Structure 1
Amino acid sequence: METPAYDDHLPTPAQRALDALAVNAEDQSALDTLAHSDVLVPVPDDAVDGEGADSSTVALPVLERTGGDPVVPVFTSEGTMAEQLPFISRYRLIPLGALAAQWPDDDLSLAIDGSSQHGLTLTSQGVRTLLAR
C-alpha cells in the first residue's frame, strides 16, 4: 500500500480550528479540536542533546517581545515552523491540551503559529482556561 504524500499546503485540523476561532473566538468545537491537537515545540539547535529528554517535562522556548509579555511559540505544522523559525530544525510533538494543563502561572503567553495567516496568541490565563481540557 502506498502512503500518500503529505501536502503541507493543506490545512491541518488545528489550522482549520484556528481559522474558525478567528471568526468566532467562542467556538467550542474549534477549541476542543485545538486542545486535542499535537503541536510542534521548537528545540533550539544549540540545546544540549540530552536536554528535555525526560518525557514528563518540556523546556519551553521563550521569546522576549518588545513591550509585551514573553511568549512561547508553538506550531501546527513543520512548514509553518520552517517559515517562521527557519533556523530551528528540531522540535518535540506535544498535545496542546497537556501543555496547557501544566502552563505556568506567570505572564507567559502562547503563540500558536505566530504571525501566520491563522496565528493565535493567548495570555497565560487564556491558555489555562481555553485549552486545558
Structure 2
Amino acid sequence: MTEYYPNGAASAVQMALRAVAAGDAHDAELDTLADSEVLVPTGSAADQSPETVSLPVYEQPDGTELVPVFTSQARMHQAFPKITEHRLIQLGALAHGWPSETLALVIDAGTPEELALTAQGVKDLLDRGTE
C-alpha cells in the first residue's frame, strides 16, 4: 500500500529508518529521524496535560517493555486499529527525555521500516541535540 505524505516528510523518515535498520545511516539520516515528529498512541488526549506525555508501555512475552511510536496515522491504525487518540512529539525530544534504561522504543511496528531500539540505542541514535 502506498501512503501519501505532504512534502515527502514521512517518506524521508521512512528512508532514514531503512538506513538505520540496514546499518547504513549517516548523520543526515539520523538528523532526519531526530527532527521528525512521531505519533505516540494515547488512551485519551483529555486525560493528559499539554505539558506531559504518558508513554504507552507494552510488555512482550520475553519481559521486554517497549514504547511504540509511528510516523503516520495509517501506520498507527494498522498496528492498533482501536486506538484513535495520539500525541505528536519530536523524536529527538522524546529520546532526550527517555525515562528508563530498560525501556525499548519501536518505530512503525509491523511495517517494512520497523526499527526497534534499546534504551541506549534511543540515546545514541536519536538524542542528537546534546552533543
Range class of TM-score, shorter chain? 0.7 to 0.9
Please, what is the CA RMSD of the aligned residues?
A: 1.8
* CA drift at 1:25: 4.7
Residue in 2 aligned with 1:33?
A: 32
Give runs of aligned pairs for residues 1-133 of structure 1, distance below 5 A.
Answer: 7=4, 12-44=11-43, 47=44, 50-55=46-51, 57-133=52-128
Match for 2:15: what amino acid? Answer: R
Amino acid at match of 1:22: A
Segments of 5+ residues of structure 2 without an aligned counterpart are: none
- TM (normalized to structure 1)? 0.83
Larger Rg: 1
Identify the structure with the greater helix proportion.
2
Q: Tell me the matched-pair count.
A: 123
Q: What is the alpha-carbon distance in structure 1 between the residues aligned to residue 124 and residue 96 of structure 2?
A: 9
Q: 1:129 to 1:35 in 2, by over 3 A?
A: same
Runs of 4+ in 1 over 3 A off after TM superposition: none
Whole-angstrom distance in 1 between the partners of 2:63 and 2:113: 20
